């Protein structure tokens, strides 16, 4: 390469960098001049994680109110109720003599469950017969059902085991032998990755990823809609911006969004889990490495879709419509293996699906990048595909803008 060619090459590189920086500068100025965009790209990422985590900061339900109907009125029935009431997750707040009275309290939402002990409870236990304890659970909320059923069932099983040991003692089998006969296969449950079985530790990691994607999408959609509305030709990219070419415009805009949300990602995915004691056993470097393709894929996806948004309000409609759908399709509330094939394929169109799965595996399950290679590679592939679609969409818009400008000039002449 001759000296003149080197000089020309250097000038071209400098020209490209200047164009990119010019687009970057314009995009930042546009962003901070719009109050709505500032709310979505600055205030929403700051406030949403705090708001959602604050709502579920208690993790589990405590002292869920129960009603007790003790028709036996025996020492053993009272002992069972004391054991149930001693459980921190439930509390027996009222006792009734009939099931009808307890049902009325349940219908009035004063209690969320009823424990019914029949009149022959003590008699059957003393005669060696099998008896029944009925547990009525409020399943209008799955949390109520799980807490009540688990607490009452554990107490009933513990009492049944002790009664069996007492019966074995009466036959001459005592000590450790009686315990082995009563419980030949002891159950040892170990809760992994969410020891408190908390709702926030289960759901919030997925919501944090969705907050990043949805706020970024809505912010870009609002900027795009505003640009289209303010441009007299109603096109996405005005002639004052596209002088650097399609790729330079896209790179300048994407750098702007990437820089802003790289900082927000560190705050949302690293600081917020530590503030609210959510699972954070992953290596921060691995989380940030996963976020690089996730942010790029989200930026290019949002820029591609924004081409088809006629105004800034359309992005808000899509935001509200898709948020809950994306949460269900992410594979958190329902296993992806049991999702219909069409919807499973549809879910992989969105960066949040891979982002949620990868982040949970790293930050909750303690995996590293090797264990999330599928999600990591998928996000890079999405980045490449959506970058290509963004280039096509912006090139089409730039050509459309140039043609309209040329048409107006021809009419004037």
**How far from chain centre, in Å, is Cα 365?**
15
Q: Which of 220, 201, 202 is nearest to 44 (CA)?
A: 220
Say which range, 8-12, 45-49, 132-136, has the weakest mean pLDDT: 8-12
User: Interhelix angle for 142-170 vs 75-86, to 10°?
Assistant: 140
Q: How confident is the model at residue 233 (pLDDT cuts 50, 70, 90)?
A: very low
What is the pLDDT confidence band of residue 1, given thresholds at 50, 70 and 90?
A: low
Residue 208 in this model has a pLDDT that exceeds 80: yes
* Long-range Cβ contact pairs of 269-272 (< 8 A, separation 24 or more): 269/208, 269/209, 269/212, 269/359, 269/363, 272/49, 272/50, 272/53, 272/208
Give pLDDT tens digits for 28-63: 888 888 888 888 888 889 999 998 888 887 777 888
Is the Cβ–Cβ distance between 274 and 221 less than 8 Å? Answer: no
How high is the pLDDT of residue 234? Answer: 44
**Highest averaged pLDDT of the listed ranges 160-164, 181-185, 271-275, 331-335:** 271-275
Q: Mean pLDDT across the stretch 317-345?
A: 82
- For residue 49, give the nearest of 38, 61, 57 by alpha carbon: 57
pTM as predicted: 0.81
**Exposure of 365 by Cβ count < 10 A (0-12 exposed, 13-18 middle, 19+ buried)?**
middle
pLDDT-derived band of residue 266, with 50, 70 and 90 as boundaries? very high
Mean pLDDT of 172-186: 79
**Average pLDDT, stretch 398-409?**
63
Per residue in 296-329, is it b (16+ CB within 10 Å) or e — as a string?
Answer: bbbbbbbbbbbbebeebebbbebbeebbeebbeb
On whether the CB atoms of residues 58 and 126 are closer than 8 A, the answer is no
What pLDDT shows up at residue 360?
A: 92
- Are β-strands 113-117 and 134-137 bridged in parallel, bridged antiparallel, or unpaired? antiparallel
If you search the block for the tokens 């043609």, which residue do you land on? 403
Give the orientation angle of helix 373-412 with respect to helix 351-363, to 10 degrees: 150
- At 262 the pLDDT is 93
Q: Is the dihedral of CA 257, 52, 332, 193 positive or negative?
A: positive
Q: What is the rounded average pLDDT of the residues 69-98?
A: 91
| Ordered structural domains, the chain, with CATH | 18-56+198-407 (no CATH), 64-182 (3.40.1710.10)
Q: How confident is the model at residue 389 (pLDDT cuts 50, 70, 90)?
A: very high
Residue 239 banded pLDDT, cuts 50, 70, 90: very low
Residue 28 is predicted with a pLDDT of 83
Judging by DSSP bridges, how do beta strands 64-70 and 113-117 pair with one another? parallel
Which letter, b or e, does each residue of 222-249 get, where b requires 16 or more Cβ atoms within 10 Å of its Cβ? bbbbbbbeebebebbbbeebbebebbbb
User: In angstroms, rounded to a whole number, what is the distance separating the alpha carbons of residues 216 and 150?
Assistant: 41
Average pLDDT over residues 259-268: 93
pLDDT score for 241: 47
Residue 135, SS3? strand
- Name the residue among 196, 212, 202, 142 with its Cα closest to residue 365: 202
The SS3 call for residue 91 is strand
In whole angstroms, how far apart are CA 385 and each of 298, 382, 411? 11, 5, 39
Cα–Cα dist 290/268, whole Å: 14
- Lowest-pLDDT range of 14-18, 221-225, 287-291, 368-372: 14-18
3-class DSSP assignment, residue 69: strand
- Residue 321, CA distances (Å) to 314, 350, 389, 403, 411 in order: 11, 14, 23, 35, 43
How many Å separate Cα 222 from the centre of its chain?
Answer: 23
Contacts of 227 (CB under 8 A, 6+ apart): 30, 236, 237, 238
| Predicted pLDDT of residue 114 | 93
Q: Of 64, 232, 236, nearest to 137 (Cα)?
A: 64
Res 323 pLDDT > 90:
no
d(CA 271, CA 253) in angstroms, rounded, equals 27
The encoded tokens of residue 400 equal: 């459309």
């Amino acid at each position: 390469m001759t000296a003149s060619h080197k000089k020309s090459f250097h000038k071209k590189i400098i020209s490209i960098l200047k164009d990119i920086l010019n687009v970057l500068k314009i995009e930042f100025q546009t962003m901070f001049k719009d109050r709505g965009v500032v709310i979505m790209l600055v205030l929403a990422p700051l406030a949403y994680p705090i708001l959602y985590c604050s709502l579920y900061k208690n993790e589990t339900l405590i002292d869920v109110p129960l009603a007790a109907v003790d028709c036996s009125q025996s020492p053993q029935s009272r002992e069972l109720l004391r054991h149930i009431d001693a459980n921190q997750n439930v509390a027996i707040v009222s006792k009734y003599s009939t099931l009808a009275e307890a049902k009325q309290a349940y219908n009035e939402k004063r209690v969320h469950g009823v424990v019914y002990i029949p009149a022959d409870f003590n008699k059957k236990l003393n005669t060696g017969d099998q008896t029944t304890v009925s547990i009525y659970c409020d399943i209008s909320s799955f949390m109520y059902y799980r807490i009540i059923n688990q607490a009452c069932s554990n107490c009933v099983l513990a009492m049944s085991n002790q009664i069996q040991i007492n019966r074995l003692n009466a036959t001459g089998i005592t000590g450790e032998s009686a315990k082995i006969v009563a419980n030949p296969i002891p159950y040892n449950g170990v809760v992994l990755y969410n020891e408190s079985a908390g709702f926030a530790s289960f759901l919030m990691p997925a919501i944090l990823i969705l907050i990043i994607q949805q706020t970024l999408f809505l912010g870009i959609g609002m900027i795009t809609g505003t640009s289209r509305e303010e441009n007299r030709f109603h096109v996405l990219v005005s002639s004052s911006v596209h002088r650097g070419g399609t790729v330079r415009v896209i790179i300048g805009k994407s750098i702007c969004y990437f820089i802003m949300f790289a900082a927000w990602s560190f705050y949302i995915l690293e600081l917020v889990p530590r503030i609210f004691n959510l699972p954070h056993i992953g290596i921060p470097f691995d989380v940030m490495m996963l976020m690089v393709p996730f942010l790029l894929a989200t930026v290019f996806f949002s820029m591609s879709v924004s081409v088809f948004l006629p105004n800034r309000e359309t992005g808000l409609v899509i935001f509200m419509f898709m948020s809950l759908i994306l949460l269900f399709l992410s594979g958190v509330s329902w296993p992806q293996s049991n999702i219909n094939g069409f919807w499973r394929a549809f879910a992989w169109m969105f960066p949040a699906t891979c982002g949620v799965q990868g982040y949970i595996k790293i930050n909750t399950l303690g995996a590293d990048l090797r264990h999330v290679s599928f999600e990591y590679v998928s996000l890079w592939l999405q980045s490449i595909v959506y970058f290509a679609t963004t280039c096509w969409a912006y090139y089409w818009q730039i050509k459309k803008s140039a043609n309209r400008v040329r048409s107006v000039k021809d009419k004037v002449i």
